[in-house]
Amino acid sequence: MGERREYDVIIIGGGPAALAAAVYAGRAQLRTVVLERAGFGGQVALTHAIDNYPGFPKGVSGPELTELMKAQAERFGVETAIDEVMRLELDGDRKVAHGRDAVYRAEAVILAMGADPRKLGVPGEEELRGRGVSYCGTCDAPFFRNKRVVAVGGGDTALKEALFITRFAREVALVHRRTEFRAERIYQDEVRREPKIRLELEAVVTRVLGETKVEGVEVRHVRTGATRRLDTDGVFVFVGTEPNTKFLENLFPAAAGRHLPTDKDMMTTIPGIFAVGDVREDSYRQVATAVGEGATAGIAAEHWIAKRRAGG
Ligand code: NAP
């Protein structure tokens, strides 16, 4: 078992929601640690340009925004560490987070682990991951200069990333299972204006084809059931995300692997455990709203701790 460390607040995750909560907890002079398993920023660190975060009229890159938020939290005395929490437990009135490197104990916990890309779950996808199958346009589009790619999905991520990929690829086939997109109008209009994007509507990818690298995909028309092959050098999968809540099975058996319900203070069904951003049910999944939820949880955690210490 690793070293044992005591805090007032543990924040699990290192994206915008986590870092906003950290700014508030730090300013409230709570001993606070932010635990991130891989790299600070979460999904936003993979975003080349955020155009709708207020205060940046020319847009801001994910990594830059993350660095600014992290520096701001650290200025208020917040500790940040790379460690993956494997298990969270209650020990009387303390919460205990078991990381790979240490054990962290605190009065309150703010869950902000974010979400990971959802898989299509079709043959060939896992086998050819990293060999043409990707979940991040911003990261991998430059490998597809002058190549043909398929992008899958009809949400904001799919359309925004498909547009970004056109900067490199010579052709993007956007495969979506309906005729309507759920993405913002502004992205839909841009996609329809972009000559490099071809729409493949009412279609689903049923198989990724290729031996050592992606050579094509099999698509099925959802109404006729007819299948055909699209030749392609890459497949970008943008079919939504799944919250990183599986490790919470012992505390939230019904919600593990799903979004966590909270009250208006971002408190879960367990007193002193808060949830913010992409792990939270009903979140709008925007950087700006994640930051608002993080700030709310930071304030609410401070009030909750103060009330308890006063015997309330
Ligand atoms: P999303 O909004 O959940 O969209 C997922 C898309 O994938 C939907 O079009 C869905 O089709 C499709 N899909 C789901 N499962 C599928 C499957 N098995 N096979 C084929 N298609 C499948 O996910 P997202 O685009 O990643 O966005 C997540 C959240 O982040 C959203 O709230 C979004 O607004 C937000 N976001 C915002 C921005 C921004 O710039 N404002 C950028 C990125 C993300 P159906 O439409 O038929 O359900």
pLDDT digits (tens, 9 = 90+) for 148-175: 999 999 999 999 999 999 999 999 999 9
> Has this prediction a pTM greater than 0.95?
no
Question: What band does 1 get if pLDDT is binned at 50, 70 and 90?
Answer: low
What ligand 1 atom has the least distance to the C-alpha of 159? Answer: 25
The set of catalytic residues is: 136, 139-140
Q: For tokens 């993350």, what's the residue?
A: 66
- Report pLDDT for 43: 86
- Report pLDDT for 4: 87
Instruction: Examine the pLDDT at 255 and tell me if it is beyond 80.
Output: yes
Cα–Cα distances in Å, from 151 out to 131, 198, 205, 236?
15, 10, 10, 5
pLDDT tens column, 19-33: 999 999 999 999 999
Q: Which of 156, 160, 217 to mutate to test the pocket of ligand 1 (most atoms within 8 A of CB)?
A: 156
Residue 189 vs residue 312, higher pLDDT = 189
Instruction: Examine the pLDDT at 312 and tell me if it is beyond 90.
Output: no
How much distance in Å is there from the Cα of 197 to the middle of ligand 1?
Answer: 18
Q: Which of 177, 283, 289 to mutate to test the pocket of ligand 1 (most atoms within 8 A of CB)?
A: 177
d(CA 298, CA 304): 10
Per-chain mean pLDDT for the chain: 96
- Report pLDDT for 45: 87
Beta-sheet strands, E only, within the chain: 3-6, 9-12, 32-36, 79-82, 85-91, 94-99, 102-106, 108-111, 115-117, 133-134, 148-152, 171-176, 197-201, 203-209, 216-221, 227-231, 234-237, 241-243, 273-275
